[in-house]
């Protein structure tokens, strides 16, 4: 029990230190301060509208460059102000309100074609339309209201910039800590895959989700660190964080680099389960160290160098213990274990490097790329007006979502008017907040919103029964508002609880009948959530089965490019080229997209989950193929290798042909002529012959001089075994992938 309490306490402290909580505190102050000031000045309504402007602008305040953040918040404030003015003057004419509401909802939502930041600016406009029906102010003219909303947005921006000036590294530190923690979790899951054969399918699904999360974190960190480097040059802080990020990317690649497939490992090591348990323990020790480093970074404290040295010494002793258990015989089992051990040792070295960077023991400079090369690692957002024309069709998910949203909003608003609901705008507010282009996410958010609202309503009723004190309501409303803002990205259901509490208590200050407020809040939320889910179900639904084929194609294409870069590097060696790193990044991102698409598909109705088992197999084969590629690539990077042979080229050509045929199968085009299997078999025989010749050479050397260092022959032997096994495995996976796609009906 004490351990559970301690865990919850640590999680609470972690939450308090998070950027989500600090941003919520800034927003609460930005909302509360104008209300408090203007109550004191005797003009409550002005304070409320200014607070509304701060609320509307805040969602667009997301990490990025200083310029992008400021432009995003300013545009959100201006859009909210303009929309409020338009709706304010139109509200006097009901015949004008309905068509204008539909047009504005569609037009503003459609601007989300310009990416994630634009979608948050869009949200400010949509939210402003909804709040224009709140009738908070009766004395302020529409144009004055619009200007005050812009002023409230700028007030929030000033406070946000002051906070960021005081804590410039806060978000980077938290994101880096989260990335370390997720990487540790990924390593632990991989560790369990070694021994827990019965849970492998479940663990594999967990890896899909973790990889998607890691890809998102890597992309965010990459953008922040590169922008920070551009802004501050190669400062010590920027250099250290960049070095840690580089090591984290390599750790993920190494974690994916399994030397053999699990079925083969089970077969070869069926009598060595104890040894696998030791490997599992070692991986967990490495993961634990990542967890510890994440805590050090998050809490901004200096860990004891003595403790770190002791820990690393213990890990090294564990390495030595495992190394002694690996046989010196020249057989498949020995090389399998040796390769696995080499990878884990590399992971240990990566952890050591991160620790040295944190303690200023690593003074090396990261390889600085030119600005043109650096820009290739950031996905630029295209703001060309042509995008509006190109997406104006039913093939665009944003077009369909915008049209769907406008129709559902009109239906919800009409229902509220017809039945004369009190605060009927809560219906369309719920629709705006919940509705997403994807059905699965909309359905999930609808459930969470309804459950959270019901829980919040019950808690509010309990508090109302206990006390009628308006001061208590005000304090609880402000407190609930802070918690709601800070939890929206972390736990939407819990956030919905506090959103309900904050609205109930804030309205209780304006209206004495709190029970009515709670009642209509629940009814409007349930109705709005139901309409959002129903609208996504019947109005041009964007089912994953309709476009997952393209996601599969992109992933296979990225894997093919990654293989070709590995092949090229094997021939040339030297410094790792930028094209290699870009192809690796692309392969990881596309695999993450495929995993995410498959997860969304599992949230859809059963009858829409077409070929689910086949698609799961395709996702698994793609993941395994990428793991095998990472294994081959990291071996070639980190070991002295011989020149790539013609037999290796035969395998690469055959694998690329299979992947190309898989892509053509997805495009329903005529496949390429089948590769000459006899040629591949001949290459396989030649690779096996080379391996056997090296075995004989090493055995002869051992007989002649057992004391002499055989490291060179041993390395060549290891290379021959790993490269041979990996390319044959890649060939097998590519063939299975091609056959599985041919059997899958994507229509």
pLDDT in tens, 48-103: 889 888 888 888 887 777 778 888 899 999 999 999 999 888 877 777 888 898 89
Angle between helix 116-131 and 66-90 (nearest 10): 30
Which pLDDT score is estimated for 421? 73
One domain, residues 425 and 531? yes
Residue 622: CATH number of its domain: 1.20.58.220
Last residue of a domain, one of 504, 538, 572: 538
DSSP string spanning 212-254? HHHHHHHHHHHHHHHHHHHHH-S-HHHHHHHHHHHHHHHHHHH
The yes-or-no verdict on residue 211 having pLDDT over 90 is no
Question: Is the per-residue pLDDT at 305 higher than 70?
Answer: no
Give the contacts of 94 (CB within 8 A, at least 6 positions apart). Answer: none
| Domain-embedded: residue 385 | no
Name which of 138, 354, 156 is nearest 246 in CA terms: 354
Whether 389 is covered by a domain: the verdict is: no
Same domain, 555 and 656: yes
Chosen domain end from 377, 411, 428? 377
Report yes or no: 289 and 353 within 8 Å, Cβ to Cβ: no
Q: Does residue 388 form part of some domain?
A: no
Question: Does the residue 122 lie in any domain?
Answer: yes
Residue whose C-alpha is closest to residue 548's, from 505, 610, 491, 487: 610
Co-location of 177 and 249 in the same domain: yes
Tell me the range of 18-32, 628-642, 694-708 where mean pLDDT is highest.
Answer: 18-32
Per-residue model confidence (pLDDT) at position 330: 47
Per the structure, the complete domain to which residue 271 belongs is given by 170-377
* Residue 419's pLDDT band (cuts 50, 70, 90): confident
| 386-396 per-position pLDDT tens digit | 888 888 888 78
Q: What is the pLDDT of residue 83?
A: 93
- Radius of gyration from C-alpha coordinates of the chain: 29
| Crossing angle (nearest 10°) for helices 273-299 and 332-358 | 10
Q: Are 413 and 350 in a shared domain? A: no
| Number of neighbours of residue 657 by Cβ within 10 angstroms | 18
Q: What is the pLDDT of residues 24-41, one digit of tens each?
A: 888 888 888 898 888 888
> Within a domain: residue 386?
no
Close Cβ partners of 12 (under 8 Å, ≥ 6 residues apart):
none
528 and 586: one domain? no
DSSP state of 419: T
**Are 124 and 252 in the same domain?**
no
Q: What is the pLDDT of residue 131?
A: 83
Q: What is the mean pLDDT of residues 504-533?
A: 78
8 Å CB contact between 221 and 175: yes
pTM over the 0.85 mark: no
In this structure, the answer to whether residues 367 and 290 fall within a common structural domain is: yes
Instruction: Read off the pLDDT of each residue in 231-251 and give the average, rounded to a whole number.
Output: 71
Task: Report the domain count for the chain.
Answer: 4
143, 282: one domain: no
382 domain-assigned: no
Examine the domain organization and report whether 466 and 451 are in the same domain.
yes
Instruction: Please report which confidence band the pLDDT of residue 300 belongs to, taking 50, 70 and 90 as the band edges.
Output: low
344 and 220 within one domain? yes
Which of 13-17, 376-380, 548-552 has the least mean pLDDT? 376-380
606 and 712 both lie in a single domain? yes
Which of 513, 538, 563 is the C-terminal boundary of a domain? Answer: 538
Same domain, yes or no, for 635 and 657?
A: yes
Q: Is the confidence at residue 375, as pLDDT, over 60? A: no
Is 664 within a domain?
Answer: yes
Considering the domain boundaries, does residue 104 fall inside one? yes
């Amino acid at each position: 029990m004490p351990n559970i309490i301690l865990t919850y306490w640590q999680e609470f402290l972690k939450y308090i230190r998070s950027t989500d909580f600090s941003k919520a505190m800034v927003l609460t102050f930005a909302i509360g301060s104008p209300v408090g000031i203007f109550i004191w000045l005797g003009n409550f309504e002005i304070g409320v509208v200014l607070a509304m402007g701060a609320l509307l602008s805040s969602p667009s305040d997301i990490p990025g460059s200083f310029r992008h953040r400021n432009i995003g918040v300013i545009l959100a404030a201006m859009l909210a102000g303009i929309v409020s003015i338009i709706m304010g003057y139109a509200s006097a004419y009901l015949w004008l309100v309905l068509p204008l509401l539909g047009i504005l909802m569609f037009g503003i939502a459609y601007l989300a074609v310009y990416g994630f930041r634009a979608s948050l600016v869009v949200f400010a406009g949509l939210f402003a339309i909804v709040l224009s029906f709140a009738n908070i102010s009766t004395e302020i003219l529409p144009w004055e209201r619009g200007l005050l909303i812009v002023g409230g947005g700028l007030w929030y921006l000033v406070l946000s910039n002051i906070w960021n000036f005081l804590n410039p590294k806060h978000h980077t530190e938290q994101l880096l800590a989260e990335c370390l923690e997720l990487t540790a979790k990924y390593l632990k899951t991989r560790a369990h895959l070694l021994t827990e054969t019965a849970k492998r399918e479940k663990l594999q699904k967990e890896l899909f989700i973790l990889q998607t999360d890691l890809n998102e974190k890597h992309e965010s960190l990459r953008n922040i660190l590169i922008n920070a480097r551009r802004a501050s040059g190669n400062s010590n802080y920027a250099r250290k964080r960049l070095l840690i990020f580089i090591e984290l990317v390599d750790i993920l690649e190494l974690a994916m680099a399994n030397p053999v497939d699990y079925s083969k490992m089970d077969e070869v090591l069926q009598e060595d389960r104890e040894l696998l348990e030791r490997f599992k323990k070692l991986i967990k020790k490495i993961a634990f160290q990542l967890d510890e480093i994440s805590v050090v970074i998050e809490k901004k404290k200096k860990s004891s160098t003595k403790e770190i040295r002791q820990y690393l010494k213990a890990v090294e002793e564990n390495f030595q213990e495992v190394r002694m258990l690996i046989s010196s015989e020249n057989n498949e089992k020995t090389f399998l274990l040796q390769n696995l051990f080499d990878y884990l040792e590399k992971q240990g070295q990566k952890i050591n490097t991160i620790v040295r960077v944190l303690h200023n023991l690593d003074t090396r400079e990261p390889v600085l790329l030119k600005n043109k090369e650096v820009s290739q690692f950031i996905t630029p957002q295209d703001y060309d007006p042509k995008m509006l024309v190109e997406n104006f069709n039913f093939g665009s998910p944003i077009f369909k979502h915008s049209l769907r949203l406008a129709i559902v909003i009109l239906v919800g608003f009409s229902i509220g008017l017809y039945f004369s609901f009190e605060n009927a705008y809560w219906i369309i507010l719920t629709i705006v907040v919940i509705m997403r282009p994807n059905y699965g996410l909309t359905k999930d958010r609808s459930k969470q919103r309804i459950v959270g609202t019901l829980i919040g309503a019950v808690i509010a009723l309990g508090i109302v029964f206990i006390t009628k004190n308006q001061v208590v309501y005000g304090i609880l409303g402000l407190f609930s508002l802070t918690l709601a803002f800070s939890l929206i990205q972390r736990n939407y259901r819990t956030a919905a609880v506090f959103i309900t509490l904050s609205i109930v208590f804030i309205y209780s200050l304006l209206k004495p009948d709190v029970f009515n407020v709670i009642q209509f809040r629940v009814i409007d939320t349930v109705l709005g959530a139901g309409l959002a889910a129903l609208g996504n179900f019947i109005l041009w639904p964007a089912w994953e089965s309709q476009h997952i084929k393209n996601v599969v194609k992109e992933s296979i294409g990225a894997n093919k490019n990654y293989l070709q870069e590995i092949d090229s590097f094997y021939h040339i060696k030297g410094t790792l080229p930028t094209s290699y790193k870009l192809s690796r990044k692309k392969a990881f991102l596309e695999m993450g997209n495929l995993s995410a698409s498959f997860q969304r598909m599992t949230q859809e109705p059963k009858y829409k989950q077409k070929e689910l088992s086949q698609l799961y197999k395709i996702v698994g084969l793609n993941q395994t193929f990428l793991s095998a590629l990472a294994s081959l690539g990291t071996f070639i990077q980190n070991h002295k290798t011989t020149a790539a042979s013609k037999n290796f080229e035969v395998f690469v050509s055959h694998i690329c042909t299979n992947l190309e045929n898989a892509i053509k199968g997805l495009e329903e085009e005529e496949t390429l002529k089948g590769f000459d299997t006899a040629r591949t078999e001949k290459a396989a025989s030649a690779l096996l012959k080379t391996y056997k010749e090296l075995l004989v050479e090493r055995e002869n050397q051992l007989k002649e001089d057992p004391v002499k260092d055989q490291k060179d022959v041993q390395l060549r032997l290891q290379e021959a075994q790993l490269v041979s096994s990996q390319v044959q495995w890649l060939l097998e996976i590519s063939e299975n992938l091609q056959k599985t796609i041919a059997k899958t009906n994507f229509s």
